[in-house]
Structure 1
Amino acid sequence: MKVVFAGPSLFGVEHAQAGLEFRPPVRQGDILVAIEDGATHIGIIDGVFGFAPSIWHKEILYALSKGVVVMGSSSMGALRAAECQQFGMIPIGRIANAYVSGELDDDAAVALTMAPREFGYMPFVEPLVDVWPSIEAVVAAGGVTAEEGEAIRLSAEHMYFEERTVEAMIATALPPNRFSDALKAYMQFRVSQKSLDALELLAALRAAGGEPARSSGWNFHASPFWRRASELRLTVHSRDSC
């Protein structure tokens, strides 16, 4: 079974679902549940933080130690892939590999807020990893000048991620008489690197064979805390499934 944890990175994006089981953005304990359910391959795209505990690195190491293939891209998946690559997790896409190489080192570059499940995890704000390629595209297309593009970039980078809407970053950067045209151009030529990387992960996951993950010569240490925490998570899942 191949399980994918995704949300805002696939919002509004057409993609085939055959052969994959899609679950909500990952949170702490979800990888354990997926393994218990029989997952042999796991793709992590989106995850939660702040309002709920984020996915624990130890869960990923546990999955890898069991031979489960784990890939990550786009958002939380990109962060965890960079952090766990040396243990066998596979980074997919431009964003994840930028974190691996050190080109990116700030978690906030992928941060956003999103709507609940009932609204398809619609993103409320624009993450920096989508702002940067979008500005390049709109400048190249002549929608804004290079100077205006630079002003929008700086505006976006200085905003708190929860306030970084496309409208806000353009309104802050440009004079009022340029707002409407610049906004229209940005939306026309917008590039979602998160979505592109997410689609790349789906393709890689579908193409993956039955080979187990390689442990790279390390051993998983099941501490007493780990055993207790995992038992509690699986117990809660069992109750929720009843």
Structure 2
Amino acid sequence: MKVIFAGPTLHGTNQLPGTDYELRPPARQGDFLRAVEDGANVIGLIDGIYEHVPAIWHKEILFALAQGVQVFGAASMGALRAAECAAFGMIGIGKIYDDYASGALVDDADVAQSHGPAELGFLSLSEPLVNASATIEQCLHSGCITDAEHDRLLEAARATFFKDRTYKLLVQSSIQDPDRATLVLTALRQNLVNQKLLDAERLIDVVVSAPDRRLAVRPDWTFEATSFWNRMVSSPREG
């Protein structure tokens, strides 16, 4: 059994599960443990919920790894947790993971974005910084914006709260001339780089290709079942 946790990163794509894996909503605390108990042999983490509910717990990931489950992470919460748990066997995929692992990215908010509920397909309502930065860079390389415009747009993107970040807002705060602002906004929209989606698609390919079995090799570390862990495991969890 293979499980992928995803939501807004895959919005608007045709990445739908077939017989290769089960697509579950963005992970929250307890979801990894539930997947392991359900019999998952391979787990891919893309999106997670973290603001109004407890985020996916590192301990759950370690538990899965200790059970021989193959765990992959990319794009969003998955890239963060993969960078944090790489030493224990979680495998990170994609540019965003590489940037967190190398220290080029350090802030959790760099992958954060506002989105709608599951009923609306996790509709994206804001632009994550990793996508905005890549798009602004692409516009510079394509000659659509000047070096000065690039710097102002990037500065605005970094300074804007993740729930408010849209290309229209970035242009409004960076380009004073109305005609030039219209041209720059058009260029941004025509040169969109969805780095989160690119990394997520790579993860999906890896999960699909992975053997549907748990690893026989035991990790070179010991999973410690703390009293807090035991309470979590024994307490009822929402279905």
TM range (shorter): over 0.9
8 Å CA contact 2:27, 2:48 repeated in 1: yes
SS for the counterpart of 1:43 is: strand
User: 2:49 is matched with which residue?
Assistant: 48
- Of 197, 200, 207 in structure 1, the residue corresponding to residue 199 of structure 2 is 197
1:214: Cα distance to partner? 5.1
Q: Distance in 1 between matches of 2:217 and 2:123?
A: 35
1:67: Cα distance to partner? 0.5
Matches within 5 A, 1:62-141: 62-141=63-142
1:196: Cα distance to partner? 0.2
Q: Are residues 130 and 207 of structure 1, via their aligned partners in 2, closer, same or farther at CA, if it must alter by over 3 Å?
A: same
Aligned length: 236
1:211: Cα distance to partner? 5.3
Counterpart AA for 2:171: I
Q: Distance in 1 between matches of 2:146 and 2:182?
A: 14
Would you tell me which structure has more helix in proportion to its own residues?
A: 1
1:213: Cα distance to partner? 7.3
8 Å CA contact 1:44, 1:73 repeated in 2: yes
Segments of structure 2 that go 5 or more residues without pairing to the other structure are none
* CA shift digits 1:47-102 (9 cap, x unpaired): 01111110000000000000011100001000000000000000011101111111
Higher alpha-carbon deviation: 176-185 or 91-100: 176-185
User: 2:227 is matched with which residue?
Assistant: 224
Report % sequence identity.
44
Provide TM-score, normalisation by structure 2.
0.94
1:170: Cα distance to partner? 1.2
* CA shift digits 1:169-209 (9 cap, x unpaired): 11101113322211111111110110000000000111112
Q: Let me know the Cα RMSD of the aligned residues.
A: 1.4
Q: Distance in 2 between matches of 1:154 and 1:188?
A: 21
Counterpart AA for 1:141: S
Q: Are residues 213 and 28 of structure 1, via their aligned partners in 2, closer, same or farther at CA, if it must alter by over 3 Å?
A: farther
Q: Distance in 2 between matches of 1:68 and 1:213?
A: 9
User: 1:17 is matched with which residue?
Assistant: 17
8 Å CA contact 2:100, 2:106 repeated in 1: yes
Q: Distance in 1 between matches of 2:192 and 2:70?
A: 32
Q: Distance in 1 between matches of 2:14 and 2:104?
A: 29
Q: Distance in 2 between matches of 1:83 and 1:131?
A: 24
User: 1:58 is matched with which residue?
Assistant: 59
Matched, 1:212 2:215: yes
Provide TM-score, normalisation by structure 1.
0.93
* CA shift digits 1:132-159 (9 cap, x unpaired): 1111111222322222122111111111
SS for the counterpart of 2:131 is: helix
Segments of structure 1 that go 5 or more residues without pairing to the other structure are none
8 Å CA contact 1:86, 1:216 repeated in 2: no
8 Å CA contact 1:27, 1:54 repeated in 2: yes
Higher alpha-carbon deviation: 189-198 or 106-115: 106-115
8 Å CA contact 2:66, 2:219 repeated in 1: no
Matches within 5 A, 1:146-161: 146-161=147-162
Deviating above 4 A after TM superposition, structure 1's stretches of 4 or more consecutive aligned residues are none
8 Å CA contact 1:64, 1:213 repeated in 2: no
Q: Distance in 1 between matches of 2:73 and 2:5?
A: 10
8 Å CA contact 2:136, 2:154 repeated in 1: yes
Q: Distance in 1 between matches of 2:72 and 2:64?
A: 11
User: 2:7 is matched with which residue?
Assistant: 7
1:15: Cα distance to partner? 2.5
